[in-house]
Structure formats: structure tokens, C-alpha cells
Amino acid sequence: MSSVPSCRDLLGVIISHDLKPAIHIAQMVTKAHQRANVILRSFVSRDVALLVRAFIVYVRPLVEYTSVIWSPQNVYNIELIEQVERRFTKRLPGLKMYSYAVRLSKLDVPSLELRRLHIDLIMCYKIVFSLVDVKFNDFFHLSTVATTRGHPFKLFKEYNSVNVRKSLLVNVLLMCGTIYHQILLISVRYVHLKGQLN
């Protein structure tokens, strides 16, 4: 009988036998740190805007590639990924003495965790409005409560007693419900306004 491999690389995402993203995140973070170090060593210029732009172009895609699939839920992995940007911004000229939050605001750059949340919300929007080939009913259920105000796309959050289900994209997004509902409300108003103009 053949043995089952402990992990597989599928389109650049390492899937382990227990479906946890820890191996993928560890390898991805190592590559991102290496690339960030190359940027800081290779550029003769110490212009902060140039270095940040190089980070955005060459490092950020490594830590955001297919993040909807592997987005971490435990604090350890979230901090491990965030350490890439934290360490890079600390090594920029004139920013070492500031906290991470202050460095991000001075550079006008969002945290990697916030970027992943935006990517997840965009994916949610695409699923709800059938902009991707993913079945809506496989992930979401519309709320049956008709007495609330707002838009007709309110999603129902199911109760989960199992931790694996709690960390799925659907449940994470519904915990960020206010942002999700604001995005949907804006898009519904936009579609309605666009229909009136045509």
C-alpha cells in the first residue's frame, strides 16, 4: 500500500495532510524575508519611497498570493507574516525609533493582515455577485429575516461548534460583517444608480 505524502505543492500553495497552512506560511515568510533583505542590500539609494515601492512590487505578492486559500487564523502565523513588513519598515532610514503602527501611518501603507482582509472581502463580493465560478450556496446562506433595513444581501452566520469550521473564510468574513455590509450597500447603490443613468 502506498503512503500518503505529508504535504503537496499545488500551484505554489503547500497543502499539508491536516489542511493547516503552517508549512506554506513558514516557507513563504522565509522567501519574503530573503527578498526584503536583497532589496535593502542591493539598492544604493536610501530613498524611503523607492524602497517601499520595491517592497510592494517584489515582496508583497509573495505574502498575498492566493491568500484566500491559506489565510491564517491563529495569532502565531498572523504575527509571523506581519513580521516581514515590520522588520522591513524598521530597517528603513529614519524610522527605526517609531512603533510599527506609526511607521505604517508615516509610510501610508496598510498592514499585511488588513490587506488579506481586503482580499477576502473582495472574494466574498465576487462570490455573492457571481463574478467567479464558485457556487454561492456552497459558502453562504442569505438571511431570512426581512424586517431589517439595508440591502437584500444580508448573509446568515451559522453556529459552529467545531474550530475548523469557525476559521473558514465564510465565518471570518461574517465576523467582519459591518465592513462587508457597507461594501455591499455601496455596490447595490452603484448598480441602482448606473441603471437609472442608462
Q: Which of 5-9, 40-44, 85-89, 186-190 has the lowest average pLDDT?
A: 186-190
What's the mean pLDDT in 140-145? 72
Q: Compute the residue count for the chain.
A: 198
What nine digits make up the cell of 116?
488579506
Q: What is the DSSP letter of 171?
A: H
Total Cβ atoms within 10 A of residue 35 = 19
Model pLDDT, residue 122: 81
pLDDT (tens digit per residue) in 145-169: 766 666 666 766 665 555 544 445 5
Q: What is the pLDDT of residues 175-195, one digit of tens each?
A: 454 444 555 555 555 555 555
Do 121 and 76 meet the contact criterion of CB atoms below 8 Å apart? no
**Per-residue pLDDT at 136:** 77
| pLDDT tens digits, 59-116 | 999 999 888 888 887 889 999 999 999 999 999 999 999 999 999 999 999 999 888 8
Contact indicator for 90, 96 with CB cutoff of 8 Å: yes
Higher pLDDT, 29 or 5: 29
Give the per-residue pLDDT at 1: 45
Domain residue spans of the chain: 7-109, 118-197
Q: Which residue has the higher pLDDT, 78 or 198?
A: 78
For residue 9, give every residue at least 6 positions away whose Cβ sits within 8 Å of its Cβ, in sequence order, or none. 15
Percentage of the chain modeled with pLDDT above 70: 68
Beta-carbon contacts of 139 under 8 Å, excluding residues fewer than 6 positions away, are: 127, 169, 170
Q: For residues 92 and 104, give the distance between their C-alpha atoms in angstroms, rounded to a whole number.
A: 12
Whole-number pLDDT of residue 159: 59
**Buried b or exposed e, range 94-121, using 16+ CB within 10 angstroms:** ebeebebeebbeebebebbeebbbeebb
Nearest to 68 by CA among 141, 5, 125: 125
